[in-house]
């Protein structure tokens, strides 16, 4: 079985360019004892991957130059030499950025493709959905009747967060860029939506939108930059913030000045909690139970942005930083 895979040509800072990636064809070996051979069907590209391209270890090791990159993927078993896996089984792995792979079955998860579409396990039922759930449940402790500001509301985590918050009985203000994205946030149930590209003062616009909703009790941070500055000014006393990511800063080639209003943390007695999804799988069963209930009740729906073909994976990834996606960004093979 032949497979094309995407490799990093160098570590870099600054904007992501196509020249930093190469496509290489390899021959996959038959699976050894305890291994399986899988043909991938869907690949995930996610903002956290940008940090792995710099060459420095953060909470995860950097990508290795000249080797196949890694990321979430779902596919079907072609050959199995491992107990518990059979030809045709659908599996989820971290062997993304490639058309196929042969490796140990350890750490690979079988999924039920009759319950949900396979690609859903990379989105609403996967890491983005789990990330939104953890932020709302564990970091913020969102309560019924409270008002949440969800940044990057049209992204993979944002679209899940809007719907989960509404299912929990909260009110939601979403921010997104452009008419299509703000319309989608409204379609998902957001009580108010602000197009950050169409306002001069983001904080003022969000606070105005929050007035009929009783002000902002909690903020979900996906963006950083001007969003973080605005959130510190806009949260009510004793407000809470879940800090999941800061995509506005990921391509910076050098550190930029931070918010000028950090004293608001003290003045308003704010609580800010940063987190990484992999540290919180102790509540995975709660996530699955709640998501299943919400989906059966028609409270949660999905939308993906899809690029087709392994060679389009770098384009899909770069699109994350230009706002090309509504919902989850995926590559279909």
| CB contact at 8 A, 302 and 124 | yes
Whether 56 has a pLDDT exceeding 90, the answer reads no
Q: Based on the fold, state whether residues 265 and 312 are members of the same structural domain.
A: no
DSSP string, 19-82: GGEEEEEEEPPPP-TTEEEEEEEEEE--GGGGGGGSS--SSSPPPPTTSB--B-EEEEEEEE-S
Task: Name the domain count of the chain.
Answer: 2
Q: Based on the fold, state whether residues 271 and 163 are members of the same structural domain.
A: yes
End-to-end CA distance of the chain: 15
Q: What pLDDT does residue 162 have?
A: 98
CATH number at residue 215: 3.40.50.720
| Separation between Cα atoms, residue 237 and residue 318, nearest integer Å | 38
Percent of residues in the chain assigned helix, strand, coil, to nearest 5: 35, 30, 40
pLDDT tens-place string over residues 175-194: 999 999 999 999 999 999 99
Q: Based on the fold, state whether residues 99 and 47 are members of the same structural domain.
A: yes
Q: What is the pLDDT averaged over residues 283-287?
A: 92
- Tell me how crowded residue 19 is: count the other CB atoms within 10 A of its CB: 10
**Rounded to two decimals, what is the model's pTM?**
0.90
Q: What pLDDT does residue 243 have?
A: 97
- What is the percent of the chain where pLDDT is above 70? 100
| CB contact at 8 A, 148 and 213 | no
CATH number at residue 11: 3.90.180.10
Question: Containing H/E element for 264?
Answer: helix 264-267
Whether 255 has a pLDDT exceeding 90, the answer reads no
Q: Based on the fold, state whether residues 73 and 139 are members of the same structural domain.
A: no
Q: Based on the fold, state whether residues 133 and 29 are members of the same structural domain.
A: no
Q: Based on the fold, state whether residues 115 and 147 are members of the same structural domain.
A: no
Q: Based on the fold, state whether residues 136 and 70 are members of the same structural domain.
A: no
Q: What pLDDT does residue 258 have?
A: 86
Q: Based on the fold, state whether residues 185 and 244 are members of the same structural domain.
A: yes
Whether 256 has a pLDDT exceeding 90, the answer reads no
pLDDT tens-place string over residues 73-96: 999 999 999 999 999 999 999 999
Whether 133 has a pLDDT exceeding 90, the answer reads yes
Question: Containing H/E element for 289?
Answer: helix 284-296
Q: Based on the fold, state whether residues 37 and 108 are members of the same structural domain.
A: yes
- Residues spanned by the domain of 319: 2-121+303-332
* pLDDT band with cut points at 50, 70 and 90 for residue 252: confident
Q: Based on the fold, state whether residues 146 and 253 are members of the same structural domain.
A: yes
């Amino acid at each position: 079985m032949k497979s094309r895979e995407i490799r990093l040509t160098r570590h870099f800072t600054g904007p992501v360019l196509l020249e930093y990636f190469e496509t290489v064809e390899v021959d996959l070996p038959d699976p050894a004892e305890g291994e399986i051979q899988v043909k991938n069907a869907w690949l995930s590209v996610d903002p956290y991957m940008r940090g792995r391209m710099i060459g420095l270890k953060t909470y995860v090791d950097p990508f290795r130059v000249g080797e196949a990159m890694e990321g979430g993927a779902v596919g079907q078993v072609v050959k199995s030499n491992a107990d518990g896996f059979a030809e045709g089984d659908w599996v989820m792995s971290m062997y993304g950025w490639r058309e196929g792979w042969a490796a140990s079955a350890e750490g690979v998860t079988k999924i039920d493709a009759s319950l949900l579409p396979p690609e859903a396990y990379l989105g609403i039922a996967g890491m983005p959905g789990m990330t939104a759930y953890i932020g709302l449940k564990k970091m913020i402790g969102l309560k019924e009747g409270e008002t949440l500001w969800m940044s990057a509301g049209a992204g993979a985590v944002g679209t899940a967060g809007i719907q989960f918050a509404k299912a929990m009985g909260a009110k939601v203000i979403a921010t997104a860029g452009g008419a299509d994205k703000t319309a989608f946030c409204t379609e998902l149930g957001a009580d108010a939506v602000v197009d950050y590209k169409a306002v001069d003062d983001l904080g003022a616009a969000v606070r105005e939108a929050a007035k009929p909703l009783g002000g902002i009790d909690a903020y979900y941070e996906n963006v950083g930059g001007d969003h973080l500055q605005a959130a510190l000014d806009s949260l009510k006393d004793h407000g809470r913030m879940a800090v999941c990511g800061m995509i506005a800063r990921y391509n910076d080639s050098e550190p930029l000045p931070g918010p000028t209003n950090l004293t608001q943390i003290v003045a308003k007695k704010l609580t800010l909690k940063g987190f990484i999804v992999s540290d919180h799988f102790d509540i995975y069963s709660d996530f699955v139970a709640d998501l299943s209930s919400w989906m059966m009740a028609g409270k949660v729906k999905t939308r993906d942005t899809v690029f087709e073909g392994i060679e389009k994976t770098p384009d899909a990834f770069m699109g994350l930083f230009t706002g090309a996606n509504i919902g989850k960004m995926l590559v279909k093979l």
